[in-house]
Structure 1
Amino acid sequence: MASTSEVGHAKNIANLNLLNTNILALGAIYNPSNPKLKLTNLQSIYTSAFTQQESVNNLVAPYSVAVDEREAIFKPLNRELTKLRKAYKATEGVTQVELEDFMTIIRKLKGVRKSTVIISTNPDEAQASYSTSQMSYDQRTNNMDLLISLLQNTPNFNPNETEYQIATYQAKKAQMLLKTQAVADTFVPLNNARSLRNNTLYLSDDNLVDIANKAKDYLFTILDANSAQYKAISKIKFKKR
């Protein structure tokens, strides 16, 4: 199923198919001098756009799943780190300076807002938003590394409870790295597919929206404004995002 962000693109594609169906029904009277407005070319554009949109749809789900799985690793950290602070503070011999260092790292680990799935239709905007999000998660993982190092270098930090043990946080860091990489691995093909689709629909010199609207302009020159065909075609809209 297409995501909500893909519905507008799918509508443009579906409307081109509808326009092509109306043109086919007109028969020989549809005879533009511009070869780009020929029915065969319009059908070719539709086929390309439909295939590219399907590719995007198929890649949205893996990316969304990867983002959700990463969030499942990062989201509980705030609560877990609050409890870890108590365990660290209760450790014999921990100094005020060590506690301040600990809290500095904790604040950095907590200070990132939840990521969302990239929905921008502009490839540059999507890439920039993704890069910022990815960098934030990379920074949090790096701060987890700093936290582990601090715990390892605190002489008496050796809690009996598994949830506070260094090995537990080492395992968390490994999962953070794995899930963040999975987001990167699924975003790149999705972003590439969106770029290809957007080029066909909106950005190329002979993009779907412009060509379809030119075809409508031609149709209005050969149809009676009061005809059923004219009224049906006039309702078919093509919009750039």
Structure 2
Amino acid sequence: MSKNETGHAKNIANANLLCTHIIELGAKYNPSNQKLLLANLQNIYSTAFTHQEIVNNSVAPYSLAVDHREKLFAPVSKKITKLRKMYKATEGVTAAQLEDFMTIARRLKGIKKVSPLVTTDPSEENNQISASQMSYDQRTNNYDLLISLLESTPGYTPNETEYQVATLKQEKTDMLQATQSVSDFFIPLNTARTVRNNTVYNSEDNLVDTFNKAKDYLFTILDGNSPQYKAISKIKFKKP
């Protein structure tokens, strides 16, 4: 779990902890602000906990899709090097054709991986996944260009299955499917994070702000030297 995701879970766990302290206070906890009543705080906690669980359940399939895509694309650079040698050994290939091959190969090898980072800003997450998708889309497109070049070269008819055009076309199809799968699993994950973030940070009565106000009220009714005051002061609610 990333540091950010751990931070979300910590805020939610601390909400439950503060509710436990409030329960122990009994009738002494009697804020005039209705939003700080125990029942409301427990409802906010319960909602946030449920939303975090949905995020957690969406992370695994997305991560597996990302891992599968990375594994699929990992051998491409080495394969391009071998394809170059195979192409160079093909009868009738000209220097110009070889340079065309190298131009495409450089594009394939030159695009760096864009990791899908975790953030609490939904628009930023969308930008990140878009950049990542574009990187893999570009690599797949360049792979397709390379296939077209090989296919249009009459003498390119290798006996080895891994270098044959049909094999390369299947690999391209697998690349497209892997990237689409990442996108498909990202959508529910991003939606779940947006809902969770609204509950914990962004809505008008979000968890962090409401529970910090509850702490402020608690500090007015507790003795600053009491063990409970000191324990509650250590319970933190933070926005990223």
Common topology (TM > 0.5)? yes
CA deviation string 1:48-96 (max 9, x = no partner): 1000111111111111110010011111000000000000011111111
* Structure 2 residue 147 is the aligned partner of structure 1 residue 148: yes
Unaligned segments of structure 1, at least 5 residues = none
Q: How do 1:200-239 residues align onto structure 2 when only pairs under 5 Å count?
A: 200-239=199-238
Q: Determine the structure 1 residue equivalent to 2:42.
A: 43
Q: Determine the structure 2 residue equivalent to 1:125.
A: 124
With normalisation by structure 1, the TM-score equals 0.97
Q: How many residues align?
A: 240
* Counterpart AA for 2:59: V
2: CA distance between counterparts of 1:63 and 1:223? 46
2: CA distance between counterparts of 1:120 and 1:76? 30
Q: How do 1:2-151 residues align onto structure 2 when only pairs under 5 Å count?
A: 2-151=1-150
The offset of 1:118, in angstroms, is: 2.6
Asked whether the equivalents of residues 2 and 118 of structure 2 are also in contact (C-alpha less than 8 Å), the reply is no
2: CA distance between counterparts of 1:116 and 1:128? 11
2: CA distance between counterparts of 1:75 and 1:91? 26
With normalisation by structure 2, the TM-score equals 0.97
The offset of 1:116, in angstroms, is: 2.7
The offset of 1:33, in angstroms, is: 0.8
Asked whether the equivalents of residues 108 and 143 of structure 1 are also in contact (C-alpha less than 8 Å), the reply is yes
The offset of 1:108, in angstroms, is: 1.2
Q: Report the aligned-residue RMSD.
A: 1.1
2: CA distance between counterparts of 1:6 and 1:33? 34
2: CA distance between counterparts of 1:117 and 1:61? 14
The offset of 1:4, in angstroms, is: 4.5
Asked whether the equivalents of residues 41 and 211 of structure 2 are also in contact (C-alpha less than 8 Å), the reply is yes
